[in-house]
Amino acid sequence: MPILPPNVLDFISSSPDQTARLGMRLGEHLLPGDVLCLSGTLGAGKTAFAAGVGHGWGAREPVNSPTFVLAHEHRRDRDATRLYHLDCYRLAGIEDAESIGIDDMLTGENVMIIEWPERIEALLPADRLWIALTADDVETRRQLHFRADGMRAQTLLDTFRRHAFGG
């Protein structure tokens, strides 16, 4: 009997580079409509993970924290899919998210990375991959807890698990 249910994966990263590489592995498998929710305290590694996701997805420019502009739009060369990186830390509530056009960002043709997703959870689709990052007692170590909610998120998690960890 497995220790974790099939929709969950736990991993400990020992460095920011390893956290980014995990994100890169996940980013390679993203499809239009995928939503990644990155939760965790300040300094937990959300932006390092998001940068890796963007690199693996094929973003033309580096994915950085959108803290002061709330959202960044990224494109890649191989198709018209957009990757939106949204930081909800400074949003006062759902109304703020609606005012910046989150409905348009969440259309089926785009990929979303959302930092601080708990602030707008009521607006998010039920099918999503939730990744909770936690800073460990060692300065560079991070715990990553992946939870797939929905069929597409489960497929994404299974593909990621197989390609990143071989199994």
In tens, the pLDDT along 102-141 reads: 788 887 789 999 999 998 898 899 999 999 999 987 788 8
Residues 6+ apart with CB under 8 A from 46: 38, 39, 40, 115, 133
Q: Let me know if residue 32 belongs to a domain.
A: yes
The DSSP secondary-structure symbol of 68 reads: T
What integer pLDDT is reported at residue 58 of this predicted model? 94
For the chain of 167 residues, list the mean pLDDT of each consecutive stretch of 10: 82 93 96 96 90 94 71 85 88 76 80 92 94 87 95 96 81
Q: What is the mean pLDDT of the chain?
A: 88
Closest CA to 145 of 1, 49, 31: 49
pTM of the model: 0.91
Residue 97 belongs to some domain of the structure: yes
Q: What is the pLDDT, as a whole number, of residue 28? A: 96
| 103 falls within a domain | yes
Could you give phi then psi for residue 34, rounded to 5 degrees?
Answer: -70, 140
The reply to whether 118 falls in a domain is yes
Is 73 a domain residue? yes
Residue 22 forms part of a structural domain: yes
Within a domain: 139: yes
Per-residue pLDDT, 64: 78
User: Does some domain include residue 8?
Assistant: no
State residue 36 phi and psi, 5-degree precision: -110, 125
Instruction: Residue 115: give its domain's CATH number.
Output: 3.40.50.300
Residue-range definition of the domain harbouring residue 82:
13-165
Give the per-residue pLDDT at 133.
Answer: 96
pLDDT of residue 167: 59
The predicted structure's pLDDT at residue 140 = 83
Q: How many domains does the chain have?
A: 1
Residue where the block lists tokens 């002061």: 68
